[in-house]
Amino acid sequence: MQIFITGGTLDKDYHPIQGQLTFEKTQLPEMLAQANLTQPTALSVLMLKDSLEMTDADRKIITESCLNCSDNQILITHGTDTMPITAATLLKHHTQMPEKTIVLTGAMRPFALGNSDATFNLGSAIMALNLTRPGVYIAMNGQLFEAGKVTKNTQKGLFEVTSPSNNLTT
C-alpha cells in the first residue's frame, strides 16, 4: 500500500508562538504505529497544505503520483474542504489506471490535538483499500463514498452522498 500525504487538518498541530494550527511534520508514522498496522506500507509526503490552498497544479502532482505509482492500493490523506474536488479529478484519470484502488481520507480535528476522528478515518480507508473494487473513493465518517458522488456538508461537518442510491455502505 502506498500512502500519499498532502496535508489537511489531520496533519496540523497547534503552534503556540503563532497561536494557530500549522504544519510541522506529518502525523502518519505515529498514527500507523498506534494502529499496529502489519500491512507493508510506503509513505510519501507530496505536500503539507490546507486543502483550501490547494491548486490545480497540486492536484496534478497528486494525479501524476497515482499514475506513476507501482502499487495498486493508494491511500491519500487530504484536507476535507476540497477532498471531493481532488477525488473527482482522480476519477477523470482512472481510465488510465483502472487496476488501482484509490481512497482519500482526512480528519475534522487534528490528530496531534487528541479527540480526533483521524485514526478512525485512516483505519476505515485502509480497510476500504483491502476490500473494495478498483476505483476512487472517499472514506470519512465510517462510510465509503464514490468519487464524484459525495459532498462535504459544512453545516453538519460530515460527508454525504449527493444521491442516496450512490452510498456504498447502504
Active-site entry in 6, 9, 26, 89:
9
Query: Helices (DSSP H) in the chain: which residue ranges?
Result: 28-35, 56-68, 83-92, 118-131
81 annotated to bind ligand = yes
In this structure, are residues 113 and 77 in contact, taking their beta carbons and an 8 Å threshold? no
51 is in an annotated binding site: yes
Contact 105, 140 (CB under 8 A): yes
| 41 counts as catalytic | no
Question: Is residue 84 a contact partner of residue 151, using CB atoms and an 8 Å limit?
Answer: yes
* Overall size of the chain counted in residues: 170
Could you list the active site residues?
9
Q: Which residues are annotated as a binding site for substrate?
A: 51, 80-81
**What residues are designated binding site?**
51, 80-81
